Amino acid sequence: MFVTVSNLKQEQPLEITGNLNNLEWLRQSFNALDFKVKTFEFGLTMEKKGDFVEIDGSFEGTADINCVRCLEPFPTSFSNKIKMFLYNEDGTFVGDGGEHELSEGELEFGLFRGDRIDVGELLREQLMLGLPDYPLCKPDCKGVDANAKTSMDDSVKNPFYNLKNLKLKR
């Protein structure tokens, strides 16, 4: 879903709410993720304020993300607040184009291109930023081999199994 910035009026906030079940554009936005979002509900208020658009809102839901140790998907819940200030990429806020290290307060700022803001992309980005950096299915996860529950032999479970008997000539 795109919001046309020129259609936003000062002092007239646009409210957008929804969930994964009733919005096809939201489901399509999340298709590119490498994990499965199971539930997602959000509420946003967008308001044009001078030369920027202020976005205020929140979202919550559940997803199956992969453990970084055993690589198995596990359920996790998330909840996050959004407070952003978006400026047009045409140079309204960009400055002279030189490099500038962002301070913590400036991390709430973002850019959009043209006259449209992609709400699906914005929500996808905020979701990814809100998930854990190092997701573990359980704190004591031992990894792929240690957590294996099947009766497969070691050569199938571990592709490097046959290297244990490798002898190198000197």
Query: Which H helix or E strand runs over 144?
Result: helix 144-147
Going across the sheet that includes 52-66, the strands are: 14-19, 36-49, 52-66, 73-88, 109-112
Distance CA 92, CA 95 (A): 7
| Per-range mean pLDDT, top range of 22-31, 92-101, 157-166 | 22-31
Q: What is the CA radius of gyration of the chain?
A: 22
Report the pLDDT value the prediction gives residue 51, as an integer from 0 to 100. 80
Strands 109-112 and 73-88: parallel
Task: State pLDDT tens for residues 114-166.
Answer: 889 999 999 999 999 889 999 999 999 988 765 555 445 555 567 777 777 77
Region 99-122: what's the mean pLDDT? 75
Report the pLDDT value the prediction gives residue 72, as an integer from 0 to 100. 93
